[in-house]
Amino acid sequence: MRLSFVSAAAITAALSASAAFAQDKIKFEYWYGLSGQLGDAVQQTCDRFNASQDQYEITCIGQDGYANAVQNSIAAFRAKQHPTVVQAYDAGTADLMMSGEFYPVHQMMSDFGIEIDWDDYFPGIANYYASSKGELFSMPFNSSTPMLYINNEHYAAAGITEHPETWEQFEANLKALKAAGQECAYAYAPSTWIDLEQFSMAHGIPIATNNNGYDGLDSEYVYNTTIHVKHMENIKRWLDEDMLEIRTSQGGLNARDSFSQGECSHYFGSIASHQAVTNLVDGSFDWGVTMIPVYEGTERKNTVVGGASLWVLSGKSDDEYRGAAEYLKFLATPESEEFWSTNTGYIPVTKTGFDALMAKGFYDNAPYKGRELALQSLTYTEPGPLTRGIRLGGFIQARSEWSNEVQAALAGQKTMQEALDTAVSRSNAVLKKFARTYRGKELP
């Protein structure tokens, strides 16, 4: 009986100690913007981190959208209830940089003695989130670039043998598909990220002065004076000539789902959607992806990273920062990059992570075949002054101005040139306000 009593007491003590230890874990919060299947994958990274060690506990809270993640964090910051880490998308980069309310990841990792080979990050990804000196302010995480999704069976039925490399060939393919009886040749949804930003990068043309804002706060938008106007006029013409159908989530299937159900022959979307399309198509037809086209006579340039990076916000304890540093270290391993690339369509952000997948033949077969083309697009050329990214304040609002005006033009309420002129005028007002807010300061 005595042995039994001692054993029970020991077990009770051990359980109590275990519970006390669990309570002593350093806890910190991470707010993320991804939702749906991609949001589930983010939550799995958090669960995997918690299971990998017993010193820290990360609580990951979805915000149902990138804009919500940033805006909610700003509101929470004012109340000192903000998270330690926030997933902020590319459009909010300049605003966060100028706010100064963050702990640069390169500095944080150094402060906590965690070695990261920053040169291992692909320049086309790292440059977007780095200072002019090349120091990373936020950790690249879910990185993507746009691709053209193609229904290969529709192509075969129309006698089309090659994926288009130019917009002229893309238009010819639309005509061939319509002639073959394909009702929806192109599921289109206006997207400043694809139609303006990535289009301009691939063509090596400016979106704004000062090398797209990198060289000063006194920048102005100029996309209403470039080949972007011609491109948007072509999209309007394709709409009028019934070669594309506008497919948004309002009142029906969005562009991705219209494609995934085999209804439409093309759609442009992030490589991040590759896994979702794979799941939705579920082997019902043959499809593939290719890089976004460029106009004939254009020397193709690299596209730039989309998606988001992880920012560590100011005003937290050293313990919370240590936890954040350990989580970012966990994400930076080839194993974590493989998990992320396997469960999403996103691409590895480091050369080591990509090389490890290539060595395994990861991209040789379905469902992952084609995703490597996104990295080819990002690294097609070395990033130059006009293709390293966009560093413009208030860019979230500027995107809205473009979207609102383009939709008005597509509805026939004004010409495309008038729409883009108005969007530029209103967006320049946003830039001027941003410059006044940070008068006397320079971009880092």
Q: What is the pLDDT of residue 172?
A: 98
Sort strands 306-312 and 85-89 into parallel, antiparallel or unpaired. Answer: antiparallel
Q: Does residue 443 belong to any structural domain of this protein?
A: no
Q: How far is 92 from 392, CA to CA, in rounded Å?
A: 9
Question: Rounded to a whole number, what is the distance in angstroms from the first to the last CA of the chain?
Answer: 72
User: Does some domain include residue 128?
Assistant: yes
Alpha-carbon distance of 128 to 126, in angstroms, equals 5
CB of 255 within 8 A of CB of 149? no
Tell whether 110 is covered by a domain. Answer: yes
Can you tell me whether residue 213 is helix, strand or coil? coil
Clarify whether residues 111 and 153 are in a common domain. no
Domain holding 59, by residue range, is 14-144+306-359
Is residue 22 helix, strand or coil?
A: helix
| 298, 237: one domain | yes
Looking at the structure, do residues 267 and 411 belong to the same domain, yes or no?
yes
123 and 190 inside one domain:
no
**Overall domain count for the chain:** 2
333, 280: one domain? no
- Structural domain contains residue 383: no
Count Cβ atoms within 10 A of the Cβ of residue 337 and give its class: 0-12 exposed, 13-18 middle, 19 or more buried.
buried
Whether residue 314 is found in the same domain as residue 337? yes
299 with 316, same domain? no
**Given its phi and psi angles, is residue 372 left (phi above 0), alpha (psi -120 to 50 degrees) or beta?**
alpha
Any domain includes 367: no
Asked if 177 and 120 sit in the same domain, the reply is no
Task: Please name the residues in contact with 152: beta carbons below 8 A apart, sequence gap of 6 or more.
Answer: 285, 286, 287, 288
Residue ranges of alpha helices (H) inside 53-159 are 66-78, 93-99, 105-111, 123-126, 152-157
Question: In this structure, are 296 and 311 located in the same domain?
Answer: no
Q: Is residue 134 part of a domain?
A: yes
330 in a structural domain: yes
- List phi, psi (to 5°) of 86: -135, 140
φ, ψ of residue 87 to 5 degrees: the values are -90, 110
Do residues 94 and 165 both lie within one domain? no
User: Is the distance from CB of 443 to CB of 96 less than 8 angstroms?
Assistant: no
Q: What is the chain's pLDDT, residue by residue, as a tens digit (444 residues)?
A: 233 333 444 434 444 444 444 468 999 999 999 999 899 999 999 999 999 999 999 999 999 998 899 889 888 988 899 999 999 988 888 888 888 899 999 999 999 999 999 999 988 888 888 888 888 999 999 989 999 999 999 999 999 999 999 999 999 999 999 999 999 999 999 999 999 999 999 999 999 999 999 999 999 999 999 999 999 999 999 999 999 999 997 767 999 999 999 999 999 999 999 999 999 999 999 999 999 999 999 999 999 998 899 999 999 999 999 999 999 999 999 899 999 999 998 989 999 999 999 999 999 998 999 999 999 999 999 999 999 999 999 999 999 999 999 999 999 999 999 999 999 999 999 999 999 999 988 888
3-state secondary structure of 366: coil
How far does CA 90 lie from the centroid of its chain?
A: 7
Structure tokens at 328: 């970012």
Q: Are residues 192 and 128 in the same domain?
A: no
Q: Which ranges constitute the DSSP H helices of 180-317?
A: 199-203, 209-212, 227-240, 255-260, 274-281
132, exposed or middle or buried, with CB in 10 Å at 0-12, 13-18, 19+? exposed
Euclidean distance between CA atoms 123 and 140, whole angstroms = 11
For residue 409 the two structure tokens come to 């033009």
**Residue 56 domain flag:** yes
pTM, full prediction? 0.89
293 and 328 both lie in a single domain: no
Is the Cβ–Cβ distance between 329 and 409 less than 8 Å?
A: no
The CATH number assigned to the domain holding 280 equals: 3.40.190.10
What is the pLDDT, as a whole number, of residue 294?
A: 98
Residues 6+ apart with CB under 8 A from 440: none
